[in-house]
Structure 1
Amino acid sequence: MSAVLADLGRGFGQPVHDAQRVFRAVLEAMSRPGRVQALPAAVLDALETPGLGRATTAVLLALLDAETRVWLHPSLYSEAARAYLSFHTGVQHVDEAHRASFAVIEADHATPALWHELARGSDAVPQDGATLIVEVTSLDQGLALALRGPGVETVQTLRAGGLHAGFWQARRDLESAFPLGIELILTCGDRLAALPRSTRVSLEG
């Protein structure tokens, strides 16, 4: 049994403390849309990730639990990733994106259609909208986004590598449905940024 557990890879070194630190970073990112947050190296260095980026893995360990459902895009899915997340969080895995509380995908595979596949909540329970986690190639290069809304004083600029204009246009199409919507977390290496559903997005230039 110990050999099987060892094969799963390590999660947080201090599960409660580390999860709280990552959760606070996510909250900070959500409250300041487009502001890039660096996750603590001491937390990330303890992780043995299952083929996912370090920030992505940390966010999933902090946010997933037995009451949530996760969908991994086929490019990220493996039996090792499934076993790792199941063991460390108790999360339920689903095969269809529309059933997921959390969806995880790489930027190269993030199509505009994905915004219409994921749950956006309902008038009765808008908070049931999904959270989309996208592993991007950069948080410094790419299309320049102008972000406005709660948590942004005037305009916040963000560049996310690997995501194309059509992806962001589809995200803009959802803005009129607020408070329904989808939370977005962008991860890259050891950093992350977030766009809550209340954030308005436009392409600069």
Structure 2
Amino acid sequence: MRSIVLALLVSLPLAACHGSVSDSAPRHSATAPVVGTDPGHLGAGTPLTPRTGDELAAFAGGCFWGVEDVFRHVPGVVATAVGYTGGDKPYPTYSEVSSHTTGHAETVLVEFDPKRVSYDTLLNVFFENHDPTQLNRQGPDVGTNYRSEIFTFSPAQAKAAQRAKTRAQKKHDEPVVTQIAPVGRFWKAENYHQQYDERTGTHSCPLPGGVPKGAI
């Protein structure tokens, strides 16, 4: 789990999840820094250097602003960060991911204490707070970067995710299109996006389940 490479992006995008962004974002070299805790983040910090005993999970369910805010309200979640994974371009920018050419999904990386909250509970939160029957979109946000996907860190997580998907299917008439795949390289998004809803006091992205009560 600790071997996952977590790279920091430092460019500042200029618009919202379903808006347009500047194409003038700076390029990054192969020597971009590996990230530790970012002091610019709120709450308990970021999950880029997990504490001993904590575990990681990664979820893509539409605009990552709203998805992150949901998980930050789950007791037992220690920290979160938003970023990009599931694609093949190194050091992707928000603008590039939004062009639907890199293969990345807007993803929330979650550090959690398994003694306080189970992975199964996080899976339930994930499925209850977005529409897993929408293919490559969530509400007005359309594109492969908004797809529903669970990125797993172990075979045990993969099996649990498949069971949760099966449970979710029983609640929907339409097919659940959530993908399940091993997590690859996670690229931490620009600081502008981190804890966006919490920092701005807004709920910018459509989430049918709303925000769970109880703060981390």
Give me the TM-score of the superposition, normalised by structure 1.
Answer: 0.31
Q: TM-score, normalised by structure 2?
A: 0.30
- Which of the pair is proportionally richer in strand? 1
| Structure showing the higher helix proportion among its residues | 1
